[in-house]
Every structure is written in structure tokens, then in C-alpha cells.
Amino acid sequence: MENNQTSPQAPKKKLVRSKTNKWLFGICGALAEEYGVDPLLVRLLFFFLGFWLYVALIFISVNPDAPAQ
């Protein structure tokens, strides 16, 4: 037997830039408000992930491939 009834879902909340936590356009503040964490933690996470991404890209572009054996 099939269940054709759908459960009521809460309307999807649209992610918008924060008006109160606005260091860099309110993006990290909006993510922090959405997930209920401190905006400073989100900013630090973005900073360190971005930093290591750039380090990895520089390392990949500067170092040649290993020679085939």
C-alpha cells in the first residue's frame, strides 16, 4: 500500500547577509547566524581554509611532477 500523503515541511529559509555581523559584507555573520555559532569562529575557519588552499595551489604550481620510473 502506497502512502501518497506528504508531510508538511517548514518553508526553506533563505540565507541572507547579516545586518549585525558585518565585517566583510556580512557573509560569515550570516553563516554563523544560520548555524548558531560565533561569527568569529566562522571567520577564522574561512581564513585558515583559504590560506591553506592558496599554499596548496602555490605548492602544486611551483613544484614539478616526479619523474617516471
Q: Rounded to an integer, what distance in angstroms lies between the CA atom of residue 64 and that of residue 14?
A: 44
Cβ partners under 8 Å of residue 41, min gap 6: 32
Q: Which domain holds residue 35?
A: 27-62
The reply to whether 34 falls in a domain is yes
Domain count, the chain: 1
pTM: 0.59
3-54: pLDDT as tens digits: 566 656 767 777 777 777 777 778 888 888 888 999 999 999 989 998 999 8
The pLDDT score that the predictor gives to residue 45 is 93
The reply to whether 45 falls in a domain is yes
Between the two ends of the chain, the Cα-to-Cα distance in Å is: 62
Q: Is 65 left (phi over 0), alpha (psi -120 to 50) or beta?
A: beta
The pLDDT score that the predictor gives to residue 44 is 93
User: Alpha helix locations (H) across the chain?
Assistant: 27-35, 39-62
